[in-house]
Structure 1
Amino acid sequence: MTRPKETLDCVKLLDEYQRKQARAEKAERLLFEGVEGKDVYNIAAPFEDQGEMVLPGRVEPRDSEYSQVMFFVERSGKWQPREGAPVFDLQDPFHTRIGGELIIGGVQIYPHPDQAGMLMWRTVFYSGNSVSELKEFFKGPDGMKDLRLVELADGSIGIFTRPQGEKGGRGKIGFARVRSLKDLTLEVINDAPLLEGQFSDEEWGGANEAHLLKDGRVGVLGHTACYDKAGDRHYYPMAFVLNPSDGSFTDMELIAIRDRFLPGPAKRPDLRDVVFSGGLVRNADGTAVLYAGISDADAQRIVIDDPFAKFE
């Protein structure tokens, strides 16, 4: 696939973002009830389901990685579990629509088959006409998070992958397309070409949400991440645009950083500087609301410039 103009690492991207003095305003913490003192973080953007706005979130004890995905509705300024909605044993929810049908996904963890005491993970997809009708329809490859689907302008399906290991190192984004969901297979995912040159070998990233733009290109909301010398993690929300016709893509750019959100708790000290892109609600005035998980312990939203408006 086409190489971007320059491979930009986190330090350069952060410097560019700070020099731009980008819009980041109205930071707001989402308040949750009915979760028995557990944290809610790595939320997706809200979506309409059966006439009301529903927000999926990762619900988890502070001292655990075993989480559930729950669906919340807002009542008097606080988000409460939606009555009768399913609860999935997943992490990091996301959603899209394909052929008018709701697609929900998340990361499933399970004991590592070969390493005692270790965990493995995979992305699991559900579909249905509404949240209440969701049924599992596909499991991604073992060891792959950040697997995302998007319906393209011609009705085909774009697939964003994130292999790790021999092919993807710490985690790089790949892209493939199939004619329909029936053609979605592990082989297609595993064989998806990488977006070469997007990440250095020391860093990693993934796609979190895909937006079909007016010209048929795809706006990708994602994250890029790195370790510092002390071993602390740094996660930054980023965006870029991909042309599914030829695989070309724009340079990624940061769209927010931790300091622009409200102060709050962290799951561990090494996760203080983590912003996990959950979802983007684009507004008609050229702004967008970014929903994000903060420091693996908090859920916030912030108003930014729509990173895809300049491409339309």
Structure 2
Amino acid sequence: MNLKQQRVEFEKAKRIYESATLTFHGVDGFDVYNVSIPFSRDGKRYMFGRIERRTEWARSWVRLFEETGLDEWTVVKDSMIYTLEDPYITEIGDELVMGGTHVQYQSGAYSTFFGYFFRGTDLHNLYYFTTGPNKMKDIRLVPLPKGKIGVFSRPRGADMKGKYGSESMIGFTVIDRLEELTADVIENAPYIHGIFGEGEWGGVNQAYLLDSGKIGIIGHICYRDQDENGDELRVYLNMAFIFDPATRESTDLHLIGSRSCYPPGPAKMPYLIDCVFASGIAMRPDGKADLYSGIGDCQTGRITIDYPFEGHGRLVLPKQTGSMKR
């Protein structure tokens, strides 16, 4: 069954318990999308969000937002402004690591892009510490037992398609400390095979250590389609799968969200009307999960779903990883 058929079957059986579009205050005239997962500091709940004018491309900033109501977030006044796209966060020990894509220009024209990484214990004073490989997005970290750190890569390009059939691959490697996170280490992460089919692409958006020792992945998986006029659509779907770092096997890849799961809304461009770009999940007291996602490259949505890693273990909080045993 190809991905388009899987999407049809998913939408027949989907169970969405809540569906909402987030409201962002303090950034009038800008869209906020492709946010980080929510996280807590000093009794408050925050997320980083990409802000950009609807009519502009590759001219984004990342700002910090504080939760000020149900599905309402307000920009933190005087917080740092990062020249990044698509922020994401990982808690490594006592530190917060925030990454995003930095687009570079030469002579006023687009040149290339890199992943930039910031770290620190003070949310309001994160500092840059390393850069990923040229033209690689969707690099993600996950804390592992005994202080180790898992690193997921996402090379994409014509050479990937020619060699593997899919437009992108996902790699995985392990480092002992953040100081070892370099472009070479990320670039040389061995690939995980069997995730994407012919013509598909995608990547890891957030990774979670499970108490089974496996890693639960929230990501995106994509394919090209056409609308009723024959114009191209780039279909982005929310997905989840399980990765075992000991055996390097990936299992249980399944869809957890599509555009129809979220409230109706606009898209930045016509070919993005069927695009949802996952941020990750936040667990709820009732055992279900809130899945956050960018919508159409111009909005942010939240849907409530069943726990996507059922049967594979529960989420391990970052500060529990030091004493965990396999």
Normalising by structure 2, we get a TM-score of 0.88
Residue in 1 that maps onto 2:62: 69
Match of 2:10, SS state, is helix
Residue in 2 that maps onto 1:15: 8
Match of 2:137, SS state, is coil
Task: Give the aligned residue type for 2:197.
Answer: S
Q: Does the 8 A contact of 1:50 with 1:130 survive in 2?
A: no
Matched, 1:258 2:259: yes
Q: Does the 8 A contact of 2:103 with 2:110 survive in 1?
A: no
| Aligned mates of 1:290, 1:76 — CA distance in 2 | 17
Q: Deviations over 1:57-87 (max 9, x none)?
A: 1100001121111111133553211123211
Residue in 1 that maps onto 2:316: none
Residue in 2 that maps onto 1:151: 143
| Aligned mates of 1:267, 1:249 — CA distance in 2 | 33
Residue in 1 that maps onto 2:102: 108
Residue in 2 that maps onto 1:27: 19
The Cα shift of 1:257 comes to 0.9
Residue in 2 that maps onto 1:43: 35
Residue in 2 that maps onto 1:242: 243
Normalising by structure 1, we get a TM-score of 0.92
Query: How many corresponding residue pairs?
Result: 302
Residue in 1 that maps onto 2:132: 140
The Cα shift of 1:140 comes to 0.3
Residue in 2 that maps onto 1:80: 74
Which of 92, 111, 117 is equivalent to 2:86?
92
* Structure-2 change in CA distance of 1:255 and 1:174 (3 Å): same
The Cα shift of 1:187 comes to 1.8
Q: Deviations over 1:177-233 (max 9, x none)?
A: 112222222222111121112112411001000011011111010000111143211
| Aligned mates of 2:160, 2:136 — CA distance in 1 | 10
Q: Does the 8 A contact of 1:106 with 1:123 survive in 2?
A: yes
The Cα shift of 1:278 comes to 0.9
Match of 2:275, SS state, is strand
Match of 1:154, SS state, is helix
Q: Does the 8 A contact of 1:148 with 1:209 survive in 2?
A: yes
| Aligned mates of 1:124, 1:140 — CA distance in 2 | 6
Query: Identity percentage over the alignment?
Result: 38
Q: Does the 8 A contact of 1:236 with 1:254 survive in 2?
A: yes
Residue in 2 that maps onto 1:304: 305
Which of 181, 202, 207 is equivalent to 1:210?
207
* Structure 2 segments unaligned to the other structure (5+ residues): 162-166, 314-326
Residue in 2 that maps onto 1:4: none
Match of 2:303, SS state, is strand
Q: Does the 8 A contact of 1:86 with 1:131 survive in 2?
A: no
Task: Give the aligned residue type for 1:253.
Answer: H
Q: Does the 8 A contact of 1:49 with 1:130 survive in 2?
A: no
| Aligned mates of 1:146, 1:289 — CA distance in 2 | 21
| Aligned mates of 1:119, 1:61 — CA distance in 2 | 21
| Aligned mates of 1:167, 1:97 — CA distance in 2 | 33
Task: Give the aligned residue type for 1:197.
Answer: G
* Structure 1 segments unaligned to the other structure (5+ residues): 1-7
Higher relative contact order (CA 8 A, sep 6+): 1
Q: Could you say what the CA RMSD is over the residues aligned between the two structures, in angstroms?
A: 1.8
Which of 174, 181, 184 is equivalent to 1:184?
181
Q: Does the 8 A contact of 1:286 with 1:309 survive in 2?
A: no
Judge which range, 194-203 or 146-155, deviates more: 194-203
| Aligned mates of 2:11, 2:301 — CA distance in 1 | 20
Match of 2:179, SS state, is helix
Task: Give the aligned residue type for 1:237.
Answer: N
Q: Does the 8 A contact of 1:40 with 1:59 survive in 2?
A: yes
Matched, 1:172 2:169: yes
The Cα shift of 1:155 comes to 1.9
* Structure-2 change in CA distance of 1:145 and 1:112 (3 Å): farther
Q: Does the 8 A contact of 1:84 with 1:132 survive in 2?
A: no
Q: Does the 8 A contact of 1:175 with 1:192 survive in 2?
A: yes
| Aligned mates of 1:57, 1:164 — CA distance in 2 | 24
